[in-house]
Amino acid sequence: MQKNLIFFVFFVFTSVAYSQTTLQKLIDHPALKHASVGISVVDLETGKRVVAHDAGKSLTPASVLKLITTATALEVLGENYRYKTDVALDAEDPTRILIIGSGDPTLGSEAFHGNQNLFFITTADALMKVLQPEKEYSLYVVDDLFGYNGISPEWTWIDMGNYYAAGAYGISVFDNSYRLFFNTTDRNGCPRILRTEPQIKGLTFQNELTLNNTGRDNGYIYGMPFSSDRRVRGNIPAGRTEFSIKGDIPDPGLMLGETLAGYLVQAGLEIGKVETAREDYLAEHCVPEAKQPYRAGQVLCTHVSPPLKDIIREVNMESNNHYAEHLIRTIGRKSKNDIHDDALEAGITYVNKYWSNRGLEATSLQFYDGSGLAPQNAVSPQFLTDLLIYMYTKSENSSPFFGSLPKAGQEGTLTNFMANTRYRGKIAAKSGSIGGVQCYAGYLIDGRKKLAFAVMVNKFNGTRPQVRSAIEEFLLGL
């Protein structure tokens, strides 16, 4: 008995000493010489902190912030929650077709590998059964559920207009993104614009692109929401008959309305005006007592999204910013149902209160979006591990949350992380990276070893591959 106790004490002592040595090696790594580093590693079963370094310090999380957004969405909405988009007739004008958005980010999305035009096909089929071909109809897209501040005010100009910074609204379609195609075979001139897919009426481009011989895509599209003017800058590979880059659709509600109108016309219906709720919404700020611009009558069909657990898996597995921005606004609108209350702001406020009420120390949490794109976002490694422990040990949604995280070396954004190590497939985590930021947070499950961890590195001076390698070495030492 005494020998066993001595061995146990020796084992614990050497394990702690080894972990501390591994920690020091990470902190002293040349690529992190000038970096801010925060680390929290906690035993899932005992709740004891295994390793900590500046665990309470607020650091920029980048996409690791999505852990907070998705965990809250699961807790508040439930894993089987589905968005519903109703298509109805206006009760006061039966020739007016209403498309009433619920904030569904999956309409026409590429993420689920189905028919991207399914919404339009099924809606056109349903309308053809009840509408009269000899009448002219109009379309009114109710896309005002989240208001029209579809992007965070803290996002930078360098991101706006690009597909990964697409706006989030009551109606979204095609991931709110399009492809801009070029011909780059003339090496002595600028890349020649061919088309967009899908086609967007009125969209114009100031083309400042140049060509490169590296084969890399360094092309970016800049522009404001609801503006038809876009600037294209950077460089793209030379010698291609077709090469595409992605941008965000400026007005997705209108895009959906015009696309549906095309399907209905093709089916034999006569469609006149296509408009969205935006002008009426903005006018209500000046005249709050204005008449309601529509009144929903007979619902002709309803499009239902995949369940929330599948949407959240997409967010964490592929680090889908667009879906994450819809989730934080959905949370906000659930807490404040007045469409003139800022849905993003309401979501942020609710998330803070929700986790504080469950005993998590949320004072380190400062965030300005749901995806982690804003550089001003901040959270501590300790808060992240506290959240991970709660979701693993206390939440009824433990299984779908854990299942949403990519497995190291196997899938999603962690396909190449820890790929050739003994922890391949044994780490389920979220990565996060923007300029000068590299973070990982999640679970390490290896037999009896069950840990929640968060490793956050800000303002590193080395290369990103060097920082990733240093973090891998640290995790291998746990």
Structural domains in the chain? 21-79+310-476 (3.40.710.10), 84-304 (no CATH)
Interval 361-369 mean pLDDT:
95
Tokens 């029209």, residue located: 148
Share of the chain above pLDDT 70, in %: 95
Tokens 């291998």, residue located: 476
Interval 455-465 mean pLDDT:
96
pLDDT band at 288 (very low <50, low <70, confident <90, very high): low
Interval 184-194 mean pLDDT:
93
**pLDDT (0 to 100) of residue 291:** 76
Beta-sheet strands, E only, within 82-129: 84-90, 93-100
Query: Is 222:233 a contact under the CB 8 Å cutoff?
Result: yes
Q: What is the dihedral of CA 379, 383, 384, 385, to 10 degrees?
A: 150
The pLDDT of residue 5 is above 50: no
Alpha helices in 337-463 (DSSP H): 343-356, 381-393, 398-403
The pLDDT of residue 192 is above 70: yes
Angle (nearest 5°) at CA 61 between 59 and 65:
130
**pLDDT (0 to 100) of residue 314:** 98
Weakest mean pLDDT among 57-66, 154-163, 295-304: 154-163
pLDDT band at 300 (very low <50, low <70, confident <90, very high): very high
Helix then strand then coil, % of the chain, to nearest 5: 35, 25, 40
**pLDDT (0 to 100) of residue 190:** 87
Interval 339-361 mean pLDDT:
97
Tokens of 178: 């399009």
Task: State whether the Cα torsion 315-320-321-326 is positive or negative.
Answer: negative
Q: 257: burial class by Cβ within 10 Å (0-12, 13-18, 19+)?
A: buried
For 61-99, write each residue's pLDDT tens digit: 999 999 999 999 999 999 999 999 999 999 999 999 999
Tokens of 194: 């061919």
Paired strand residues for 192: 183
CA distances from 281 to 149, 153, 276 (A): 12, 20, 9
Interval 194-219 mean pLDDT:
95
443: number of Cβ within 10 Å: 20
**pLDDT (0 to 100) of residue 357:** 97
On average, the pLDDT of the chain sits at: 93
**pLDDT (0 to 100) of residue 3:** 52
